[in-house]
Amino acid sequence: MTGTGRAELFSLLDITGADAGECRRILASPPNASVQRALAALEERLGTFPTASITSSDISEVEWVEALLRFAPAVHEYHLAQGVDADTSAATLADMGLQLRINRRVHGQFGLDTWGWLTLHMAGNLFRLGRLQFHLVRAEANQSSAKSQWVLGVHIPEDGGLSRALVDASFEEARSFFARCFPDKPVATATCDSWMLDPYLLAKLPESNIAGFARRFTVDRCTDAPTDAVYFTFRHRGLENLDSLPRETSLQRVVLERIDDGGTWQLGHGHLAL
C-alpha cells in the first residue's frame, strides 16, 4: 500500500494523529500468518449478514487492527456495489477511527480492545445513518412474522446527542436506505439492547433525551449488565475505583449512586415498529 493509498484509507476510517502513525507502522510489513487468518475470517463473513462479532483467542489485538485496516477497502467496494453511497460507507467505516480514539482515552495508549465490535462493520450489514447505527440481520424465531424475516438492530455511537429531531431523522433515513439498498430484505421492526433502556434510568431522568429515546421502544426483558453503564458513561472499565469518577452531570450521578446503593445496572432488550 502506497503512502497515497494509506492517506486515503486513513481518511476513509477517520484515523488521525498518533493513531495514524501507529497504523502506518503496522502496515509497513507484509501480513503474518495470524493476520492472514483474520483476513480470511473477515472475507468469509462479508455479505452473509452475521449477528455476532468474531471472537478469537489466538490472534492478537494488534493483528486484528492490521486485518481490519487491510480489509476495509474491500468493505467499501462491497458497499458501493450494493448501491450504498460513498458518504454513508465512509460514515460507517469511520467508527474505526473513533474506536481507536476511545481506546486511547480508556487505556492511555494505542490499541483497539473493541476490535470485535468492528468485525460487524466489516461484514457489510451495519451502517451509520445520521445519529444512529443500524445492523440488518435475520429475525430470531420469536421475532419472525409473515411480514418480515429481517430486523434492524439499533446502536448508539457516543459522538452526539439524542434529541428527538436527530433520532427521528436517523430512523427516517434508515427506512429509505434499507428499502433502496436491500429491497429483498424488508424490515418492519427495530430492536435495541442497551443500558439506556434500563427502566431505572427512565424513572430517574424522565425528561432527558436518553429517556425520550428509551420510550420509543417496548422493553421485552432486562438482563444484568453491571459494568455497561459505567463504561459507556465514563469510558471506565470495571467497577473498581469508582470514587475517582466525576459526578458533575445528572447522568453521572445516577449511574454511580445506583451502584453506591447496592443496585445493578441492566440491559433493556426492546423493540419498536418501523
Q: What is the pLDDT of residue 144?
A: 47
Cβ atoms 76, 12 nearer than 8 A: yes
What's the CA gap between 250 and 204, in Å, rounded?
A: 9
Whether residue 253 is contained in a domain is answered as no
| Residue closest to 68 by CA, chosen among 115, 101, 30, 19 | 115
C-alpha cell at position 166: 436527530
Block residue for cell numbers 429517556: 211
Strands 218-224, 266-273: pairing kind: antiparallel
Q: Does 31 reside within a domain?
A: yes
- Number of domains composing the chain: 1
In a domain, 271, yes or no: no
Closest residue by Cα to residue 132 from 99, 88, 96: 88
In a domain, 119, yes or no: yes
The amino acid present at 78, given as its one-letter code, is Y
Output DSSP code: residue 139.
Answer: P
Residues, the chain? 274
Q: Which residues contact 99 (CB under 8 A, 6 or more apart)?
A: 112, 114, 117, 118
> Three cell numbers at 126?
451495519
Q: Does the residue 52 lie in any domain?
A: yes
Q: Splitting the chain (274 residues) into consecutive groups of 10 residues, what average pLDDT does each group show?
A: 80 98 97 98 98 93 98 98 97 98 96 98 98 96 64 95 97 98 96 97 96 98 97 95 96 97 97 96
* Cβ atoms within 10 Å, residue 154: 24
Distance separating alpha carbons of residues 18 and 21, to the nearest angstrom = 5
Has residue 108 been placed in a domain? yes
Looking at the domain assignment, is residue 204 inside a domain?
no
Rounded CA separation 150/152 (Å): 7
Boundaries of domain holding 44: 1-124
Query: What is the H or E stretch that residue 39 is in?
Result: helix 33-45
pLDDT at 79: 98
- Residue 236 in any domain: the answer is no
Angstrom distance (rounded) from CA 146 to CA 186: 11
CB-count burial class (<10 Å; 0-12, 13-18, 19+) for 66:
buried
Its pTM surpasses 0.85 = yes
Alpha-carbon gap, residue 120 to 146, rounded angstroms:
27
Instruction: Note whether 9 and 73 are within 8 A (CB).
Output: yes
